[in-house]
Amino acid sequence: MTFTARHLLGLEGMSREEILYILDTATSFREISEREIKKVPTLRGKTVIGFFYEASTRTRMSFEIAAKRMSADFISLSAGGSSVSKGETLLDTARNLAAMRPDGIILRHPSAGAPHFLAQRVDCPIINAGDGAHEHPTQALLDLLTIREHRGTLDGLKIAIVGDILHSRVARSNLHALRALGAEVRLVGPPTLLPRELRAWAEVTHDLAEGVRDTDVVMTLRIQRERQGANFFPSLDEYARYFCLTQSALRGAKPGVLIMHPGPINRGIEIASDVADGPYSVIMEQVTNGVALRMAVLFLLINRSREADMPEIEAAPEPALHRKAG
């Protein structure tokens, strides 16, 4: 397979073959982080800009670590420390960054569609690191990588996504990718946090015990108070009483159910500490896999002469989406 995608903007519409190709590439990079000298020359001479309009720990750090482990120069810019604070627009900022000839820009932005807007106007690969409540493709891909490492396949798995689905870009990206890989998705949360448009694509329930019954994987989501302009539930205590993932709530899940959370965690609200830190939790593995997955994404999008370095991966049809216009 020749991976010709120019940008990584989202997982909606991405083919099974493209997703598996990214996961296979990430798997081949995983062992670099286990070496004593965690550095390869693959992206030497390349410059990557991380532009974060919103707070981030995991995504920002793992992109930076991924770039540096591949010998790229990583320059980090936050909205507060840039001329955005003086009123400069996203487009003007991005044009000025692009004029410095980076090889890729990673963007996190509170507005859905911001990375797509840039991708049409700036001549370098754009990677979506989370746009509003729309998509967070690298988070979903690292989630898939983690599940596949434990279960071998996503095909036929029953996966519950629990919590604030309405405001979750992680839920949207996961829903697209899990369905493309043949998993059965169940959305669980209060009616006010389950958007109508997603009900066509997944089973929906407002009962936590019913939602986790017979599942192979339970993904819990953070309650995003900063995006909630209205009261979607009476109080955090009330939310936790019905939707906090506890040991007893998990009783009906399959033995060895995987417990996931993209972070950051609100302990005792969406997930109990003994579940988050318990034997079935793979939350820290998700974080570890974030580095390998982001190495793969940088490699596939930025290393245009990569064919010579490609790991052996089974041939698959060419990707249909996100190619550079023209």
| 262 contacts ligand CP (rule: CB under 6 A) | yes
Taking CB under 6 A as the criterion, the residue among 16, 30, 58, 227 binding ligand CP is 58
Q: Is the Cβ of residue 54 or residue 277 nearer to ligand CP in the bound state?
A: 54
Any idea which residue has 């519409």 for tokens?
A: 13
In contact, 111 and 131? CB cutoff 8 Å: yes
Q: Is the Cβ of residue 52 or residue 233 nearer to ligand CP in the bound state?
A: 52
Q: Is the Cβ of residue 59 or residue 266 nearer to ligand CP in the bound state?
A: 59
- Closest approach, Cβ 314 to ligand CP, in A, equals 30
Taking CB under 6 A as the criterion, the residue among 42, 47, 59, 146 binding ligand CP is 59
State the first-to-last Cα distance of the chain, in angstroms, to the nearest integer.
21
In contact, 285 and 30? CB cutoff 8 Å: no
**Span interacting with ligand CP, options 51-59, 188-196, 199-207, 211-219, rule CB under 6 A:** 51-59
Cis peptide before 264 (omega within 30 of 0): yes
Taking CB under 6 A as the criterion, the residue among 42, 47, 139, 266 binding ligand CP is 139
State both tokens at 43.
């992206």
Q: What whole-number distance in Å separates Cα of residue 307 and Cα of residue 1?
A: 10
Amino acid at the residue 157: L
Chain centroid to CA 154: 16
Q: Is the Cβ of residue 42 or residue 139 nearer to ligand CP in the bound state?
A: 139
x/- contact string, 213-252, with ligand CP (CB under 6 A)?
----------------------------------------
Handedness of CA 201, 215, 148, 38 (dihedral sign): positive
**Which residues of the shown chain bind ligand CP in the complex (CB under 6 A)?**
56-60, 130, 136, 139, 262-264
